[in-house]
Amino acid sequence: MLAKAILIAGAAFAVLAVAANVLAHRREAASQSGWPPVGQFVDVDGVQVHAWVKGDGPDLVMIHGAGGNLREFTFALVDQLAERYRVILMDRPGLGYTGRLRPEYASLWTARAETPQEQARVLAQAARQLGAQRPIVLGHSFGGAVALAWGLDQDAAALVLVSGVALPWPGPLSRTYSLLGAHPGDLVVPTAVSGFMSDKAVEATLDGIFAPQPVPQGYAAHIGPRLSVRRSVLRANARQVLNLRPQVVEMSRRYDTLTLPIEVLHGDADTIVPITVHARPLSQRLPSAHLTELPGVGHMPHHTNPQAVIDAIDRAADRAGL
């Protein structure tokens, strides 16, 4: 009886695994067809970096957060910024349409991921190929850590951190990241999520990211949220997030060397990257960091409070003499 039960369970698992793989493949193909690359590709040491450039003026590089892509900024904000800045958007490594920095990072058999420093290096090289010189570098969420790494090791005129990760946080991460990015879960869980995640679950995820503000009308149709639910993206994102805290610990030991202008913009209702852990302590530590707190605002002020973000960029440009 036990052997029979094991056989039945094994057969059921195999059927589910095949079904998840087929559904994941179909959904990934549909998302890539519906939301294809919108920019150009820049080769950096064999890595294809997906980039998008618009406008004229001082160079402004904008770096998206965890699980996202450059479409995050093309929804509405870029059209306003491109009137006065040359805006350069890029997908971070492993996300959107940018490749992994090393072949082994894409392997199922490793949990290694690109550090903020590695990401800053390749994005800075791509920006230079696109003609950027001493850009203002804006980072949202996880992109804030990449922007700080850029300021530490690459050429930048100023930094703008929007809901940015800056300092080590207390407590563990959500178990979801381990299931998606660490063994043995990352062997099967990303396929199950990509194949079986419902539209309602996608909508609920977006609601949580924007809370307490609502998701803007038309945002989901523009961003293509299932681009972020592709198996390769789920693994890359989870691995990067899982490895981020020790990397931020190391980076933070060098923050006192940052003397360039830093504008910090953060909502005090942000529960994803809490202001009490990141923006406030950073601004107290660094004399060059100017903090703007947004009362009652959550994690996505570049959508919910775009003028505040534009004002922060303008202040950074003025402080940098641009």
What is the band of 134 on the pLDDT scale with cuts at 50, 70, 90?
very high
Q: ω into residue 184 within 30 of 0, thus cis? A: yes
Q: Which of 4-8, 108-112, 152-156, 269-273 has the lowest mean pLDDT?
A: 4-8
DSSP character for 257? Answer: G
pLDDT value, residue 10: 44
38: containing domain: 2-319
pLDDT value, residue 218: 95
CA-CA distance, 169 to 255, in Å (whole number)? 16
Domain count, the chain: 1
User: Helix, strand, or coil here: 298?
Assistant: coil
| Residues 189-237 pLDDT 10s | 888 888 888 999 999 999 999 999 999 999 999 999 999 999 999 999 9
CATH code of the domain in which 169 resides: 3.40.50.1820
CA-CA distance, 55 to 238, in Å (whole number)? 33
pLDDT at 78 over 60: yes
| Residues 147-194 pLDDT 10s | 999 999 999 999 999 999 999 999 887 888 777 777 777 678 888 888
Q: What's the whole-model pTM score?
A: 0.93
What is the band of 13 on the pLDDT scale with cuts at 50, 70, 90?
very low
Q: From 187, 185, 128, 138, select the one nearest 158 (Cα to Cα).
A: 138
pLDDT at 126 over 60: yes
Six-digit token string for 16: 């589910």
Average pLDDT, the chain: 91
Query: Could you tell me which residues come within 8 angstroms of residue 157 by beta carbon, excluding any fewer than 6 positions away?
Result: 58, 134, 135, 136, 260, 261, 316, 317, 320, 321, 322
Strand partners, 160: 138, 263
Q: From 142, 140, 139, select the one nearest 151 (Cα to Cα).
A: 139
Amino acid of residue 248:
V
Average pLDDT of span 293-307: 97
pLDDT value, residue 6: 47
Q: From 63, 254, 250, 59, select the one nearest 152 (Cα to Cα).
A: 254
Average pLDDT of span 63-90: 95
pLDDT at 110 over 50: yes
Query: Could you tell me which residues come within 8 angstroms of residue 57 by beta carbon, excluding any fewer than 6 positions away?
Result: 84, 85, 86
Q: From 112, 77, 113, 78, select the one nearest 95 (Cα to Cα).
A: 113
Q: What are phi and psi of 157, to 5 degrees?
A: -85, -35
